[in-house]
Chains A and B, each alone.
Chain A
Amino acid sequence: VNVQAFCTSAKVDALAAICSSTDTLMAALYVAAGSLGADTTGYSTTNEVVGMGYTAGGIEVTNVVGADSANGVAFWTPSAPLVYPSVTLTVVDTVLIYNESQGGRAIAVFNFGTQSIIEGTFTLTMPPNDDVTGLVRIG
């Protein structure tokens, strides 16, 4: 029996193309007044947070485990938490993960409850990298 499908291998290839472990991926933080979302196409300094200890563009994403698949779902997750040490940041509520090696091309936007950090460390931890909880999935 033949079954119409978007092939799982193609899903993995699509993720691998934008999250390649040979590329430099970055994670930039944005203030709650921003308007990032599905229509975001790339990194921009508009509404990027400004504060002590934070450099425009954000931090590099640890990416040593490439896209994978299970049960017909392709998935990818950063290989380590995103850690912004010794910062003072106000009303941050979004992180943009983007591919610096591909001209700042946007990969994903993650929104969370507003946080302010004072002379502290801001840590974004990752879910298990699998077909159910992986941070970026194509199902």
Chain B
Amino acid sequence: VIIRTTHGDFDEELLRKVEGRREDANEIATWQEWWLGTELVKRDAQVHLKSVSALGATTRMGDQK
């Protein structure tokens, strides 16, 4: 498979592919890196957003007695 890199189009088989994943409260992230020797020549990433904008809306019409 030919992929686009910092050196132009390159046969993916000639590159070393590294994949990663991270998850925390805000996101699930995955990425793929293609290395030519010690040089990173291509990197894709996907971030799955989690809802972080929930609001607590309420009403208030004076103190309760």
Contact = CB atoms under 8 A, between A and B. Distances in A.
A125 B4 contact: no
The B interface is mostly helix, strand or loop, or mixed, namely: strand
Contacts of A127: 48-51
Which bracket fits the contact residues of B? 20 to 34
The A interface is mostly helix, strand or loop, or mixed, namely: strand
Interface string B3-45: 0111000000000000000101011010100000000111111
24 contacts: A108-B53, A110-B26, A110-B53, A112-B26, A112-B29, A113-B26, A115-B45, A115-B47, A118-B42, A119-B5, A119-B43, A120-B44, A124-B48, A124-B49, A125-B47, A125-B49, A126-B48, A132-B51, A135-B49, A135-B51, A136-B53, A137-B51, A137-B55, A139-B55
